[in-house]
Structure 1
Amino acid sequence: MSEKIKLRNIFGYASINFLGSGAQGLISAWLMFFYTSVCGISAVKAGFIFGAVRLIDALGNPILGFISDAVGQTKFGKKYGRRKPFIAVGIIGVALVFPSLWIAEKSFAYYLIVNFIYEISYTLIFVPGTTLPAEMTQNAAEKAKLIGGKQYCGTISGIITGFLTAYIFSTYGKTSAKSFWYIGLIYGIITTIFLIFFILNVYERDPKDIVYEDAAGSFVEVFKKLGTDIFSSMRNRAFRLHTIMWFLGSVFKQLSGGVFTYFAVFVVLVSTVTVSSINSTSSIISCVALFVYILLAYKFGGPKTYKIGSAIVFVGSAGYLLLALIGHSSITVALFVIFAIINIIGKTSIDYVPTYQMGFIADIDEAITGKRREGVYNGVNGLFGKVASAIEPIVLGIVLGVFGFKSGKNVHVQPHGAVIGICVVAIVVPVVLLLITWVAASRFKLTKETHKLLVDEVNRVHAGGSKADVTPEAKAAIEELTGWKYEQCFGNNNVSYKNNKSGHIQAKPKTI
């Protein structure tokens, strides 16, 4: 497998985040607000729409990861690849459905169905698509380029959506149905163009370099393998710690993004145009922050970088609390911009680090199982991501409903109880979530040095080297990252699926 990543590959892979951060960020910031404040849907019903479709779709993430991995053993997969066929179908779905999310005066059933189709299309792109850094290279520096480029594209897409929404709101009105339709249509076209660029400029691992797990030879064996895959991923210590950071960090990102508009409009009392301007300005600041975090993650490791970002978020949250306590004044907007920027600087780390770490998980698993299972891990990772994104609207919808939030385009002032509920979701919940992830990050010892020790040892053993010749440093790194004794690694365990009835014999892995 080639380790040399070309510039077009970096730009190509990065383009996926026009969907991941751009479209999803737009949805998180504005779609529920659109449904409750323009379409007149209650907060509880709107929360149910997003929560239900994402929870249902979440179950499809590990299934798709399993199918994506397994299809490589078929004639179709060997000819067309394990990842790109699914991505192509997803791109078609996004192109057709994304603008449909933003049409006003439709029924509850309509919004439920189009959101479900969109989530399926998103999953078809992101579960196989985000396996590609692990497919394209095992070099830590090359992974950092791919994942860093992806994050930069996410930030750039945030700038675009910020300016786009600000311009359209100022032109057609902040609560106009036409405004939201134009936003959905224009950004849907932008996303589709960049997704096509993405699929044309990425590549998969050479089939000759892939060591597959045992094939599931019957319908019963398929589900047995799927269950084994899901639970076996949690036997990887690195993935368990990553999952805590990823899952709770994702809940934080979704909640902070979803409640931000409500907090700005109904607590700080600023306009939607101002909110859009803050979003675009914050995205520009995030570009600089991301560059710093990329350097920090590569030098000191993702977990330490994650903790730095969390500490910055704590400062921003304290600022939000101050604004909520002192009420609106002549300096409110200026303070709000400052604290929003502080928050986005910290949030950039929470967004970047788990994505960066995910590129190393399959390498760590290979030390445990001796096999490549990118699809399994990305599927399970996607499952937790979707559950996190489902929790956000459910929590936000229930809290707003319980605290008396009033829906409708003519509602400009909310009851005091609704304001308190918004503050709880915007300030208290994020702090609690990040305190828990802080503990996980402190226990996660992934650095470029420990990763290199692990990869070099895996390659040495695959090349026929004796495990008795392992160095103390390599042994310590493998045991620290995998959570297994060195002697139990390289397939000397019951972690991965084995079909004892198939008579299938694995070929010796090739040197990578």
Structure 2
Amino acid sequence: MSSSTPAVGRKLSWVTKFTYALLPLSFTMTTMVMTWQMIYYTQPLAIGIGIVTALLAVGKAIGGFITPIWGYISDRMYATSFGRKVGRRKGVLLIAAPLNLLFYVLLWVPNMPVWYYLVVNVIYYGVYPGINTVVYSLPSEMTDDSKDRAALVAIQQIGGGVGGFVFSMLNAYLFAIWGANGWQPYFKVAMIYAVAGTLLLIVGALCIKERPYDETTDVSAADKGSEEKVGVLKRLVSVFWNFLSVMRIKTFRNYLGIYLAQQTFRTVRGTINGYFIIFVLLLTPTEVSLSTGFSFPFGIACVILWATLITKLGGIKCYRLGGWLTIILFSGIYVLALMRGSLSPAQLTLWFTILITAFSLGNSGLVNAQTYIQSFVPDVDEIVTGKRREGQYAGIQSTLEVIVNTVVTIVVGVILQAVGFQSGADVKTQSDLVVNVLIYMYVGTVIVLCLVGIALTYRMHLNEKNHDILVAESARLRNGGSMADVTEETRKVVEDLAGMPYEKCWGNNNVINVSKH
């Protein structure tokens, strides 16, 4: 468990992999927010849909500006005695976990003024990225072995899948005995996950492996340049610069399009999933939990399947395959929505459960492939900067996730308000226009963005062969090799992935330090 004992370059034990799974398992807290927060505010608390979407959007947007700081801090924790003693990733988790618990609980306090929910959401969305930036960075942080990275990505999905399944099944049971009316059932469920999620998070944090403190993990050295100390103002400029300068790396630009396509459609689907089931299919909150919950056991099996396929086919081909499967299955959901008038509630529940369960096959392919591809992006960054900055990219991804959530929240709220959605109304009183808009948002967004993501994979050249060449060159330079001795094949691969001349790589640029000449 010592942060000075690296797992990088070695095979990870199953004990390490198992304890790593506790971190995504703790995300059940986030699942509660994503699934029920908007419904909780608009239904039991009867706050207008426009006000809710506005306060959530503002909270997520302001929190998004704070998010890059977590990645910046995470990479530079070794500059502190606390970080060198505890670990740079572990230290951030142990700081963020209690703060996350506090403001998560405050999200669910009922019958407070609107300004209260605005303030609490801003702080919550500013604190939570301190957790997911670390979790996103760990597959690259914990090992250089591609098979172990694929295993960690799969374990991450399995941990989230197990948490989601337990969450959905327990919710169905709790809603059945507590009812779904009033704020009390939602509040009680949220408190259960607050305690369980925090305990899982702390135990998982104490058991992760990290890269040791050395020249490549001493990112602060690149900040200083010729200066002995970096002032607060320059630190703020550096956070902003590091967030933007990664766009100069070609591989990251290509990955960014792939990530945004799948993250956007998954966010749209997650945001209106409850609305689609309740107002389009006219099913109950218990059936919402059951229909989504049954998909998780199948989803876990799918994750194992995709982890095997990724090691054989690679991340890019698996992303395409998952995308086509998702398009086919959501075409089926569209047909089901059109036929809802001729089917009984039991038949609707059955068919929707089958389709959503099958969707786990396509969705897990997309998520596993995208996460696997993301774990190799910091390796390209290392050849460019000479430093290991997993936290930087995890922080950027967390920020983009917040931005996507914010934009989706605004757009969904504006559209539903424009078409006449009625907060607190009976499910059968929503207009036909509202129902049709929900159908086309729920299905159309997924199909269109899957096609976009598939098209963008053809611009991505970070395959396994090129990655092996890249890692070997970084190791050679790290061990004192000369850039003048590079082979022609390696030069071409590095320049293609980095998007800049080879001579400008390995820290011979201002990607980290804007003042470097």
- TM-score of the two chains, using structure 1 as the length reference: 0.91
Which residue matches 1:239? 252
Please give the alpha-carbon distance, in whole angstroms, between the structure 1 residues aligned to 2:369 and 2:212. 28
Mapping 1:34-433, distance limit 5 Å = 34-209=40-215, 210-212=217-219, 213-215=222-224, 217-328=230-341, 329-330=343-344, 331-408=347-424, 410-433=426-449
Is the Cα–Cα contact under 8 Å of residues 61 and 379 in structure 1 kept in the other structure? yes
| Distance in 2, Cα, partners of 1:115 & 1:257 | 18
Which piece of structure 1 moves more, 454-463 or 485-494? Answer: 485-494
1:467 Cα deviation from its structure 2 partner? 4.0
> Match of 1:361, as an amino acid?
V
User: In the alignment, is the contact (CA less than 8 A) between 1:362 and 1:377 conserved in 2?
Assistant: yes
| Whole-angstrom distance in 2 between the partners of 1:336 and 1:135 | 39
Take 1:75 and 1:343, find their aligned partners in 2: how far apart are those partners?
47
Deviation, structure 1 residue 269: 1.6
| Cα separation, 2, equivalents of 1:438 and 1:127 | 26
Check the 8 A contact 1:88/1:199 in 2, yes or no.
Answer: yes
Instruction: For 1:499 and 1:234, locate their aligned partners in 2 and report how far apart those are by CA, in whole Å.
Output: 18
Q: What is the aligned partner in structure 2 of residue 505 from structure 1?
A: none
Are 2:34 and 1:28 equivalent residues in the alignment? yes
Structure 1: runs of 5 or more not aligned: 502-512
CA contact (8 A) 2:26 2:196 kept: no
- TM-superposed CA distance for 1:500, in Å, is 4.9
Question: Contact 1:8 / 1:201 at 8 angstroms: preserved in 2?
Answer: no
Cα drift, residue 35 of structure 1? 1.4
**Letter of the aligned partner of 1:315 in structure 2?**
I
SS at match of 1:367: helix
Contact 2:241 2:514 in 1 (8 A): no
Whole-Å Cα distance in 2 between the matches of residues 112 and 496 of structure 1?
Answer: 34
Shift in Å, 1:130: 2.8
The Cα shift of 1:265 comes to 1.1
CA distance in structure 1 between the partners assigned to 2:278 and 2:429 by the alignment: 9
Shift of 1:298: 2.3
Residue 426 to residue 500, structure 1, CA distance change in 2 (3 Å): closer
Is this contact kept in 2: 1:138–1:363, CA < 8 A? no
Paired-residue identity, %: 29
- The Cα of 1:167 is off from its aligned counterpart by 0.5
Q: Give the superposition deviation at 1:56.
A: 0.8
Per-residue Cα deviation, 1:160-207 (whole angstroms, up to 9, x for no partner): 111011111111213342221221011112101210111111132211
Aligned partners of 1:366 and 1:490 also within 8 Å: yes
Once the two structures are overlaid, the 10-residue window that deviates more, 231-240 or 475-484, is 475-484
- Measured in 1, the distance between the counterparts of 2:116 and 2:303 equals 38
Query: What CA distance in whole angstroms lies between the structure 2 residues aligned with 1:391 and 1:292?
Result: 33
Distance 1:102 1:218, change over 3 A: closer
Hey, what's the Cα distance between the residues in 2 that align with 1:467 and 1:85?
35
Q: CA deviation at 1:496?
A: 2.9
Could you say what secondary structure the match of 1:50 adopts?
helix
Q: Is the 8 A contact 1:297 1:305 kept in 2?
A: yes
Question: Structure 2: where are the runs of 5+ without partners?
Answer: 1-5
Give the superposed CA RMSD: 2.2
Contact 2:24 2:135 in 1 (8 A): no
Offset at residue 266 of structure 1 (A): 0.9
Cα pair 2:282 2:427 within 8 Å, conserved: no
* Corresponding letter in the other structure for 1:207: Y
Distance 1:218 1:93, change over 3 A: closer
Structure 1 range deviating more: 28-37 or 328-337: 328-337
CA distance in 2, matches of 1:233, 1:300: 28
Distance 1:19 1:392 in 2: 24
Distance in 1 of aligned mates of 2:283 and 2:321? 30
Q: Quote how far apart the aligned CAs of 1:384 are.
A: 0.7
- Contact persistence 1:162–1:277 (CA under 8 A): yes
- 1:17 is matched with which residue? 24
CA distance in structure 2 between the aligned counterparts of 1:488 and 1:181, rounded to whole angstroms: 55
